[in-house]
Structure 1
Amino acid sequence: MDYTATIPTSAPPDRAAQMITDDLERWWSTRVDRHPDGFTIRFNRSHVTFAYGPGGTPDHFSWTCTDAHMIMDDVDDPTEWTGTRLVWQIAPANGGSTVTLTHEGLTPQIACFDICRRGWQHFFEASLRNHLNGAPAMPETSAPAA
Structure 2
Amino acid sequence: MPNENFTRTISVSASVDKAYWALTQGMHKWWTTPDRPMVRTGDRSKFTFPPGRSFWTFEAVALEPGKLVEMRCVEALHLHEGQPADIEQEWLDTRVRWDIKSCEEGAEITLEHIGLVPDLLCHGICSAGWDMFFTNSLKQFLDTGTGHPHPSTQKEAQAG
Unpaired runs of at least 5, structure 2: 154-160
- In the superposition, relative to structure 1, how do residues 136 and 80 fare at CA in structure 2: closer, same or farther (>3 Å)? same
Distance 2:121 2:137 in 1: 24
Per-residue CA shift, 1:7-57, capped at 9, x if unaligned?
Answer: 11111112211122111111001x320177121011122010000004x31
1:57 partner amino acid: E
The CA RMSD over aligned residues, in Å, is 1.6
Structure 1 residues 71-100: Cα deviation after superposition (integer angstroms, max 9, x where no partner): 113242201101000011011111201000
Range 33-42 or range 98-107, more displaced: 33-42
Aligned residue number for residue 125 of structure 1: 135
The answer to whether the 8 A contact 2:23-2:69 is kept is no
Matched residue type, 2:116: L
Say if 2:52 is the partner of 1:50: no
Deviation at 1:142, TM superposition (A): 3.1
- Map 1:24-35; keep pairs closer than 5 Å: 24-29=27-32, 31-34=33-36
Q: Which residue matches 2:75?
A: 67
Contact preservation (8 Å) 1:75, 1:112: no
Percent identity (aligned): 33
More helix by share: 2
Q: Could you say what secondary structure the match of 2:46 adopts?
A: strand
Structure 1 stretches of 5 or more lacking a match? Answer: none
Q: How many residues align?
A: 141
Q: What is the rounded CA distance, in whole Å, between the counterparts of 2:25 and 2:152 in structure 1?
A: 20
| Partner Cα distance (1:75, 1:132) in 2 | 36
Match of 2:151 in 1: 141
TM-score (norm 2): 0.82
Which of 81, 88, 98 is equivalent to 2:108? 98
